Structure 1
Amino acid sequence: MCGIAGFIDFTQKSDADTLRKMTDVMAHRGPNDAGYEVYEAPRASVGLGQRRLSILDLSSSGHQPMHFNQFSIVFNGEIYNFKEIRKELEKLDYTFHSGADTEVLIKGYAQWGEKILDKCIGMFAFVIYDRNSNEVTLFRDRAGVKPLYYYWHNQTLLFASELKGLCEHPSFKKEIDEKSLSLFLQFSYIPAPYTIYKNTHKLKPGHVLKVTLEDAGVKEHQYWNVLDAYRQPLTGLTQSDVIRRTEELMHSAYSYRMVSDVPVGVFLSGGYDSASVAALLQSNTSNRIKTFTIGYKEPQWDESKEAKKIAMHLGTDHHEWIVGPKEAKEVLEHLPEIYDEPFADNSTVPTTLVSKFAAKEVKVVLSADGGDELFAGYNKFNQSLRYTGSFPRPLQRTISAAMSVVSPEAIPYFNKQYNFASRYEKMKLIWASGKPQQALKYISQYLTENEVNYYTNMPTDGYRTNFDMNGELDSMNDPLNRLLAVDYKTFLVDNNLVKVDRATMSVSIEGREPMLDHRLVEFLAQVPASLKVKDGINKYILKTIVHKYIPKPLMERPKRPFIAPLQVWFKDELKEQMQYYLSGERLAKSGLFNVEHVEQLLNTYLSGGKVSHQKLWNILVFQLWYSRWIEKL
């Protein structure tokens, strides 16, 4: 696991000192080694930089940039099946001088070109410079576990694992993209390919970006798309065969993520996803796997007791830390540095804390993101189908039209309920569209587009995202699977994976995602909804497998999100910080917000009004980010 950075500068003004700054600002991603090289091509300067976190082959033979023939590479990630690929290459007379997967990757690329990606089981973002073809190519893994940003403006292309790497280059301009800010306020994250800055992009998962040095051509293409898996015919396997095959793939995927030359642990929240990782791994070894849990003093948010019972049953080496507002406040101050783009999932706090806790014991930790998307765990999937399918379309349109002329504030009783105005607006939009995937979009929003316009001075025309896919979903094999595919390409990639990558990397440990093995993803994409949600039970397949290892009574309880009790702390210990950053004076500095409306929202919340704290949390996170990255120049 590493951090990579570099440039392709057609003005040929970038130098080694700039490359070093771009790379070293991400030293937390790779504290063990560093490499920086600048190459002068006839029409461009090419810089490749890398900070290394040593996980495989701890010796200096894994140093990067690494070279073979005309190729140079910087690599962030892990190829878990690199030993199998290496054996293939050895049969083709390749020899190896290290135990690093980077050497396998560069020699595999020399042999097969981009087809090497088809052989790789792993997570990765890497860049290869080919001096013979005069091309630089950027790659990102299928699921998007590893990040890669790029900036293309004024004949200079910059790339880095984090935005802070781009910010170190003198050509980079910190211009806020207001349309992206609108997306952030809606969803609490910015969907790919957009970022908070203009001319700056996330390389999309499963994509390749090729830069031709001869003519400064920049072209992007896709080598893997989860939609293709969901377009396959539904499997004809029986329920028992589906469960058996799923368990086999889980064992393989989870075991691959244990490949390491340093200690490995598991995040254990107490839910089915993380319990499946701990259970299957512990069943394959006599050594006690290290598990890590964060808990709270507030019982309605605390899962530590349940996690401890699961750990005791499995026999893991369990570690627990009960945290409160003091620890949260310390993290809050560092969030803009860790997440160098506005990012307001409120589980950033516990994820950062549990990463810090695990870093005392291990260098690699397994998370369990993807379980809800693959196995249909979220209630929002059920709601999207139910809201759009419960009564005829003409009636839905009629109700939506009627709602457009009746203000939610004019409806007695309901106008006093929690977040009623937002929920009213969402249902109006859902019934107007009549499409489950659009319902999923509105359910996923904290602020609708109309509400964003109410609180800000944003442009009204927004960006299209993967929530807005329409014809792309027509050939999907199952109505529920369409929603799982949309969530995979939005919330999973740009929220959950960003959260875990930045939190773990901030304390120099590697986060791995065993559930996102593409073999498991592709198989489950062909499993019908009737097996994913059965007899009213979400995640039926996963739960059936987990119950083989952990007694059902230990697991069965209401689903709890892995979040911090911010809505309690913001009215007490963190109230002062909230009031400072959302004060009229602070809000007016950016000129982006309608100060009066934001202050009114804050006052309503602090006086006990039933408004969503997430709306305020999103604005607070932006204010913290703005203070760090725009004001502090």
Structure 2
Amino acid sequence: MCGIAGFIDSQLSVDEAIALLTGMLRAIAHRGPDFRGQWQAAPVFLGHNRLSIIDVSEAGHQPMHYRQAVIVYNGEVYNYVELRQQLQALGYRFSSDSDTEVILAAYHAWGQRCVEKFVGMWAFALWDIEKQLLFCSRDRFGIKPFYFIHRDQRFYFASEYKALKPSPLFSARLNLPQIYRTLQLGWIAHPSETFFHCVQALPPAHNLVFQNGRLKVYRYWDIDPEANLAGLPPEEKKARFRELFLQSVRQHMRSDVPVGGCLSGGLDSSSIVSAMAHLYPGSQIKTFTIFYTGPDGVDERPWARQVAEAYPAIRPYYYSPTSDELQAHLLDFLDTQEVPVPGSSPFSQYFLMRLAREQGVKVVLDGQGADEYLAGYYHSFYRYLAARLRQLEWLAGLAGYWRHVRRQRFGAGEALSILAKTAVHWLRDENAALKLEYFYRFPFLPASREAAGFAFTTPFDGRCRFHQHLYFLTFYSVLPNLLHFEDRNSMRFSLESRVPFLDHRLVEFVFALGMEDKIHQAQSKYILRQSLSGIVPEPILQRRDKKGFVTPGEVRWIRGPFRHLLEQDYSGLDMLNQRRVKQLLEQYRKGDNRHAKMVWRLAMLKLWLSRL
């Protein structure tokens, strides 16, 4: 994992271009402190900050030249060992043990379709000297970032916004629909849009080609809606899931530097850490857990200890940030994210990644992705019930509802809320439900009721709304946000974070399964729980509560170490409905916490704008 930057711009002199590229790389030095390299053949300039993970020798430095191509690359291709063997059989020879060289050879052998063979996370820019074209690609889920600015014959790219700001093409003009989506829906990523009008993101699972001033962006992968494995025998499903999951963890462990694990105590991170210890029983594995005590605290240490006790080779580290630390690191945290952060959980992750790096770990495995495509969220259950009703499976739907209420020990009010939300998703598709949430969930609206542009399509349109919802979570709303914070927080501390649940072979398999394989008798992530029995401690497999990576920030922090944020001058937010903003803040100051999440979002937006 590294930082990349570069451009094609014939309007700059060589000296101007080198100075500019040096400044761009300096802005993202934290992403790769081990080596900085540049390559030029005017008007093409490529730069790279290296975080050495695989083949840490000089042979792995970038920009890397191979035959008629030069690359700057951020990420890991985990199946590089297998691809290298295939390429050697075709006559290719290698001078390093890096996955970077494998990408270059793969491009030479298979052209732009080489990315279809990759398993991993990546964002790269490859200059084809012979064809005089720039070929860029981003991994299937957008684990690694890729931003660019294009105007006429000029093209700039980088791993983060801050590296593009020195560009002569950059403008700080804001993209207001993205701000509205962040406030109303909590989204900080939306396929190709960013917070700046001039900056675009290369969408996940897309390639980009820039040649002779012309830009082409196209999709190279998607979920196959026709794949249907719901009819497989239950034991075969479990065996296949277990095989794919363990294969993913095994390949994600490939590294020439120490690897640790993030351990929240929840099912997903516990599954990954348990699998690491199961596969490598003789290796010490450092794990990292953040906790908070006191009123509104979140302390998952008892669950994390279940995993540590099951596998003695695990060496756990626990940490609780103090109020003084929260206050001292707030601005650095916000500058690291580069967006108005819509919730407090990423701040805890910031401290988690810092803890891992302080303990000498350079790579961590984390649990992002499972909740989205395995239906781990409570709101996925409403869609499941609605799907049952649409299929006229009334008894199955009713039975699932009562099991869910009893399993979660919900009271009458919560039980009625589930019925109401189920009715909404029975009657409306995902786009229509989103419009309701956008305009009515919070007592707050933009100054204009103009739509925020959140309409989306999925390959499941017209076939299965439940799987449309899971696709939407994975590719449009929740997961892109989490992956943004995963990248920024880990790279802030020069740490590579890997997410084994996002091996596309595993994701494709799960999407091809039926609803009952995700939610069965009111139990979420059913196939995961069934498949990993004997690896993950049983009490964790049977956990009923869904905590997520939660923090007490929206109330305890805003009323504590961040209380000064309430005194910011919010009158300058002229893109918002000022009357509602004022009303919301006054209610919160008087002790009303009902809309604490929105107050947090407003506070972070105002602070972020002040630092542009």
Common fold by TM > 0.5: yes
Of 541, 546, 561, the residue aligned with 2:548 is 561
Deviation track 1:518-559 (CA, whole Å, cap 9, x = no partner) reads: 110111111101121111111111112343224433552411
Partner AA of 1:31 in structure 2: P
Are residues 1:259 and 2:254 paired? yes
1:15 counterpart SS class: helix
Query: C-alpha displacement at 1:497, in angstroms?
Result: 0.7
Q: Whole-Å Cα distance in 1 between the matches of residues 537 and 426 of structure 2?
A: 43
Aligned twin of 1:7: 7
Tell me what 2:49 maps to.
51
Indicate the residue corresponding to 2:428 in structure 1. 435
Could you tell me which of 501, 506, 527 is aligned with 1:520?
A: 506
Q: Which residue of 1 aligns with 2:215?
A: 218
- Which range moves more in the overlay, 366-375 or 381-390? 381-390
C-alpha contact 2:259 2:363 (8 A) present in aligned 1: yes
Q: Residue 605 of structure 1 aligns with which residue?
A: 588
1:304 correspondence with 2:290: no
* Contact kept? 1:274, 1:368, Cα under 8 Å: yes
Cα 1:465–1:74 change in 2 (3 A) is: farther
Q: Is the 8 A contact 1:350 1:564 kept in 2?
A: yes
Within-5 A mapping of 1:40-439: 40=42, 45-153=43-151, 155-188=153-186, 189-213=188-212, 216-226=213-223, 228=224, 230-285=225-280, 286-298=282-294, 300-315=297-312, 316-361=314-359, 362-386=361-385, 431=424, 434-438=427-431
1:384/1:437 contact within 8 Å kept = no
* Structure 2: runs of 5 or more not aligned: 393-412
The 8 Å contact of residues 388 and 430 in structure 1, kept in 2 or not, is answered as: no
Distance 1:427 1:210, change over 3 A: farther
Structure 1 Cα separation of the partners of residues 291 and 302 of structure 2: 8
After superposition, the C-alpha distances for 1:69-89 in whole angstroms (9 at most, x for unaligned) are: 221110000111112111222
Name the counterpart of 1:410. none
Residue equivalent to 1:548: 534
Structure 2 CA distance for aligned equivalents of residues 432 and 98 of structure 1: 53
What CA distance in whole angstroms lies between the structure 2 residues aligned with 1:274 and 1:209? 33
Deviation of 1:496 after TM superposition, in Å, equals 1.1
Q: 1:17-56 counterparts in 2 under 5 A?
A: 17-40=19-42, 45-56=43-54
| Residue 463 (structure 1) aligned with residue 453 (structure 2) | yes
Q: Distance in 2 between matches of 1:7 and 1:436?
A: 42
Distance 1:550 1:66, change over 3 A: closer
Checking the alignment, whether the CA contact within 8 Å between 1:436 and 1:483 is kept in structure 2 is no
* C-alpha deviation, 1:390, in angstroms: 5.8
* 2: CA distance, partners of 1:55 / 1:535: 43
Q: C-alpha separation between the residues in 1 aligned to 2:357 and 2:27?
A: 20
Q: How far 1:236 sits from its partner (Å)?
A: 2.6
Shift of 1:437: 2.2
Q: Secondary structure at the match of 1:473?
A: coil
Q: Distance in 1 between matches of 2:562 and 2:337?
A: 22
State the partner residue of 1:596. 579
- Classify the secondary structure of the residue corresponding to 1:296: coil
What amino acid does structure 2 have at the position aligned with 1:379? Y
Distance 1:142 1:365 in 2: 20
Question: Structure 2 vs 1, CA of residues 511 and 70 (structure 1 numbering), >3 Å: closer, same or farther?
Answer: same
**Deviation string, structure 1 residues 566-605 (Cα, Å, up to 9, x no partner):** 1332453135222123xxxx22335323333212201212
What amino acid does structure 2 have at the position aligned with 1:146?
A: K
Q: Give CA-to-partner distance per residue, 1:363-405, whole Å, 9 cap, x none.
A: 0000111111232111111123446876999xxxxxxxxxxxx
SS in 2 for 1:317: strand
Deviations 1:390-427 (A, max 9, x none): 6999xxxxxxxxxxxxxxxxxxxxxxx99x9xx99x97
- Write the distance in 1 (CA, Å) between the matches of 2:584 and 2:450: 21
SS in structure 2 at match of 1:192: coil
Percent same amino acid at aligned positions? 31
Report the AA paired with residue 284 of structure 2. R
Q: Mark the CA change 1:432 to 1:352 in structure 2 (over 3 Å): closer, same or farther.
A: closer
Q: Distance in 1 between matches of 2:369 and 2:71?
A: 29
Q: 1:606 Cα deviation (Å)?
A: 2.6
Q: Name the SS of the counterpart of 2:41 in structure 1.
A: strand
Q: Determine if contact 1:144/1:493 at 8 Å carries over to the other structure.
A: no
Q: 1:88 to 1:549 in 2, by over 3 A?
A: closer
CA contact (8 A) 2:275 2:536 kept: no
Distance in 1 between the 2:4 and 2:92 partners? 26
The alignment partner of 2:207 has SS state of strand
Deviations 1:452-492 (A, max 9, x none): 895433561432443xx27x43354x442221111111234
Deviation readout 1:330-355 (Å, 9 max, x if unpaired): 33222321111223232111110100
- The 8 Å contact of residues 297 and 324 in structure 1, kept in 2 or not, is answered as no
Per the alignment, do residues 610 and 25 of structure 1 end up closer, same or farther by CA in structure 2, a change over 3 Å counting? closer
Q: Counterpart of 1:511?
A: 497
Is contact 1:185–1:452 with CA below 8 Å preserved after alignment?
no
What secondary structure is seen at the aligned counterpart in 2 of 1:577? helix
**Secondary structure, in 3 states, of the residue corresponding to 2:264?**
coil
Aligned equivalents of 1:462, 1:544: Cα separation in 2: 40
Query: In 2, are the aligned partners of 1:211 and 1:219 still within 8 Å (CA)?
Result: yes
* Partner-residue secondary structure (3-state), 1:323: coil
Change (3 A) 1:440 1:249: farther
Letter in 2 for 1:512: R
Q: State the distance in 1 between where 2:283 and 2:38 align.
A: 40
Asked if the contact 1:150/1:202 (under 8 Å) is kept, the reply is yes
Q: Tell me the distance in 2 between the aligned counterparts of 1:440 and 1:565.
A: 28
Query: For residue 193 of structure 2, what is the amino acid of its counterpart?
Result: Y
Any conservation in 1 of the 2:390–2:426 contact (CA below 8 Å)? no
Backbone CA RMSD of aligned residues: 2.7
The one-character-per-residue Cα deviations of 1:252-310 (angstroms, maximum 9, x if unpaired) are: 00010110010000101111101111111111122121111111113652212221232
Between the aligned partners of 1:118 and 1:428, the Cα distance in structure 2 is 39
Structure 1, unmatched stretches of 5+, are 394-416
Residue deviations 1:200-257, cap 9 Å, x none? 11101110111112xx11111010113x2x4322343111110111000011000101
Cα distance in 2 for partners of 1:547, 1:611 equals: 40
User: In the comparison of the two structures, how many residue pairs are matched?
Assistant: 583
The TM-score with structure 1 as length reference comes to 0.86
